[in-house]
Every structure is written in C-alpha cells, then in structure tokens.
Amino acid sequence: MTYVVLISGAGSGIGAATAMRFAAAGSTVVLLGRRVEALKETAVQCHERAVILPCDVTDPVAVRAAVAHVEFRYGHIDVLVSAAGTNLPARTVPELTAASWQMMLDANLTGAFHLMTACAQLVRNARGVVIAIGSTSVPRPSALGGAAYNAAKSGLSAFVRTMAQEEAAHGVRMTMLQPGEVDTPLIDKRPAPVSAERRATMLQSDDVALTIQFIASLPARAHIPEMILTPSANPFV
C-alpha cells in the first residue's frame, strides 16, 4: 500500500532510512530537516519519490509553512514520522547549562509538539498513523543518554500518549516507538568514542525503519500504542 509520508529528521539515521523504505514501496515521502545537502542525499536514494522541505522543527513558523505546502499539494498525511532529535557530548548534570538544557528540550520535545500539532488535521483527513521516535531511556533512564535527553524523551512519551487519547476519536493512531542503541550519527556525539565492535551489536537505522513500516501497515482496527525495540545482543540499552 502506498502513502503520503512526512518524516522529520530525514537527512540521516532513522529518518533517512524510513524515507528510503517507504519510497521503495511506492509511497511519496516528504523530507523535513535542517540540512539541505543531507536531505538531497536522502532524496537521491528515494528515486524521485521524495519532496524536500528544509525545515527546523524547533521553529513553529517554518513548520507551519512546510505543512501548508503539504496541505496544498496532497491534502492529507497518511503517515507522520517524528524522527528529529539530537544529543550532546557534555551531558552529565554538572556539565549542563540552561542553554544546553533548553536546546535539548527544543530539539527532542518541543519540535515534535510543533510538528504533530501542525499536522494534526492532515493526519485526521487520512485517519492516519503518527509514529514518534523515543528511546529505551524512557522506561529505563540511565546516565548513558544523559539527563536532558532522558527528560526530553520522557516528556515526548507523555505528550504522545496524551495526544493519542484525544486523536483516537478522529481515527488517528499514534505510536511511541522506543528503540535501544541504534548506530546513527547520534552515537558520534557520545562523550567517548564508540568502537566498531560495539556499533556492530547495535540496531541499524533500517531495522527501526522496517518496524515503522510495519506499524504503519497495520489495519485500522489494530493499534500499537508503544513498542520497545532493542538489539538482540544487548536488550537492556
């Protein structure tokens, strides 16, 4: 089945892999992200099924403008994937500043709020699916991810669960997907380098993309409110 799929954070990692999977299946993918060149690289892999809309999800005006373009062109969104997010090397509590704390909340929580609320009516029009990328740091917070990242992802989980209850009346299904360690560019932002051996045990972006595709393909009578996905070799991170 083909869809109109809007993906934030589509320039790399999970967002890019998700775009490629849906495009390969014949869907139209709308790519949101801050880095134009990265979006172009993803689009090339989508074989002319991609529309690029440079957009920083932390900017509500830019988000509304991008969504207005989607509304004009398609009139609905079948699948919305909120995959934009970041972390920072200086992540222990003593290292955090007011500015870095706010940046983490904006990128990982408030940006998703801007995106989901701006897209709400278009998703309703399709009785569509919303999938937000969280982390196993929500059910199992640890110092590995850092306090600001853990707090932002936990806030995102609470927001999605609440919005899901409201949107169910409109036929919209919302899922909080909580992956464990995934070998994405975020790993490069850890305080210490991660070995190739450790990366080889992690989930790959396409593993998460395949899961997203599965969730979106379920019949309307089926709903996964939350899913935890972990590496087989280390299911507790």
Q: Give residue 236's pLDDT.
A: 75
Say whether 74 is catalytic.
Answer: no
Whether 16 is in a domain gets the answer yes
Considering the domain boundaries, does residue 186 fall inside one?
yes
Tokens (6 digits) for 74: 């398609």
Range of the domain at 30: 4-229
237 pLDDT higher than 80: no
CB 46 within 8 A of CB 52: no
The token duo for 61 is 């005006």
Ramachandran angles phi, psi of 214, nearest 5° = -65, -45
At 170-200, the pLDDT tens digits run 999 999 999 999 999 999 999 999 999 999 9
Locate the DSSP E strands across 38-96.
Answer: 50-54, 79-82
d(CA 2, CA 85): 26
Chain centroid to CA 117: 15
114 backbone dihedrals φ, ψ, rounded to 5°: -60, -45
Q: Where are the beta strands (DSSP E) in the chain?
A: 4-8, 28-33, 50-54, 79-82, 129-133, 173-179, 226-229
pLDDT digits (tens, 9 = 90+) for 75-98: 999 999 999 999 999 999 999 999
Listed range (140-144, 167-171, 212-216, 224-228) with the worst mean pLDDT: 140-144
Q: What is the C-alpha to C-alpha distance for residues 181 and 49, in angstroms, rounded to an integer?
A: 29
Over range 211-219, report the average pLDDT: 98
What predicted TM-score, i.e. pTM, was given to this entire model?
0.97
- Please state, rounded to an integer, the average pLDDT across all residues of the chain: 97
Total domains in the chain come to 1
Is residue 237 in a domain?
no
d(CA 62, CA 60): 5
Q: What is the mean pLDDT of residues 30-39?
A: 97
* Residue 234 resides in a domain: no
| Residue 236 counted as domain residue | no
- Asked whether residue 112 is domain-assigned, the answer is yes
Q: Which one from 22, 113, 149, 159 is the annotated catalytic residue? A: 149
Taking only the tens place, the pLDDT of each residue in 92-134 is 999 999 999 999 999 999 999 999 999 999 999 999 999 999 9
CATH label of the domain that carries residue 212? 3.40.50.720
Measured distance CA(203)–CA(185) in Å, rounded: 13
235: in domain: no
Measured distance CA(131)–CA(139) in Å, rounded: 17
Asked whether residue 58 is assigned to any structural domain, the reply reads yes
